[in-house]
Amino acid sequence: MPRPSKPASPFHRFNSSPEVIRMAVMLYVRYPLSLRNVEDLLFKYGVDICHETVRFWWNRFGPLFASDIRRQRISRMRGFRNWRWHVDEVFVKINGETHYLWRAVDHEGEISESYVTKKRDKKAALKFLRKALKRHGQAEKIVTDGLKSYPAAMRELGNEGRREMGRWKNNRVENSHLPFRRKERVMQRFRRMKSLQKFASVHANVHNHFNSQRHLIDRQTYKTARSAALAEWQNLMA
């Protein structure tokens, strides 16, 4: 009886090694570097590639890496029920037109969901919350700002009683916007709504993977967590 064939590696048609591809994607997504900055950094270590190759790699492998990170994290946190979400929307310009990036950040400061819309009305809030609830389950508490779209959407979902609002209560999600904003400036903003949604999702999951809460732990613990995150990164899509 013939043995079932193993699924082909996503790297099998590429001349570069998986380690180089993972390194290029990590540098571009995690840090506020341009495509040419990544090209120059890799050249310093003997890897001669074009900046367009970096663009192709992150577009091809970034969503795969993000999906693998998200799947592992959801499976680890499946038994945890005391979720506390901090929800907020941030303005993003696309060709001069204002769009809204909705984000839900959990009690550990990790980004649970990112969603891009053209408006920030009840319909948009409802889509975002349904998407987050479907993937992560019900939250114990949901902290929002004063935008009226949130209570209207949560009333329809039947969880308005879980909403909290107050001064400084939503600082966790406000601070989580800063890494994305730094990256947005380096990328000189976005050209399409689809590319914004794709990058926001990939960036959020890579940020979660390397988020060690450095300000809350001692140096030795941080070094151990950082080494573990890098080791896990090298095994993505293995």
- Span 14-42, average pLDDT: 94
**Does the structure show a pLDDT above 70 at 16?**
yes
- pTM value is 0.88
Please tell me the distance from the alpha carbon of residue 169 to that of residue 84, in angstroms, as a whole number. 11
pLDDT at 64: 94
Amino acid code (one letter) for 150: Y
Q: For residue 55, what pLDDT band results from cuts at 50, 70 and 90?
A: very high
The predicted-structure confidence for 105-143, as pLDDT tens digits, reads as follows 988 888 989 999 999 999 999 999 999 988 888 888 999
**Does the structure show a pLDDT above 90 at 163?**
yes
Q: Would you give the end-to-end CA distance of the chain in angstroms?
A: 27
DSSP 47: -
pLDDT at 80: 65
Q: Write phi, then psi, for 87 (nearest 5 degrees).
A: -115, 140
Q: For residue 73, what pLDDT band results from cuts at 50, 70 and 90?
A: confident
| Contact of 225 with 212, CB cutoff 8 Å | yes
For residue 142, the cross-strand partners are 85, 163
Name the burial class of residue 76, with classes exposed (0-12), middle (13-18) and buried (19+) by CB atoms within 10 angstroms of its CB: exposed
pLDDT at 72: 84
| Contact of 106 with 137, CB cutoff 8 Å | no
Q: For residue 81, what pLDDT band results from cuts at 50, 70 and 90?
A: low
For tokens 């270590």, the residue is 45
Q: CA gyration radius for the chain?
A: 19
Q: For residue 1, what pLDDT band results from cuts at 50, 70 and 90?
A: low
The predicted-structure confidence for 219-236, as pLDDT tens digits, reads as follows 999 999 999 999 999 988
What's the chain's average pLDDT? Answer: 90
pLDDT at 199: 95
pLDDT at 2: 56
Share of the chain above pLDDT 70, in %: 95
Range 84-192 has CATH code 3.30.420.10: yes
Share of the chain above pLDDT 90, in %: 67
For tokens 């896990």, the residue is 232
List the structure tokens of 125.
């809030």
pLDDT at 35: 96
Q: For residue 44, what pLDDT band results from cuts at 50, 70 and 90?
A: very high
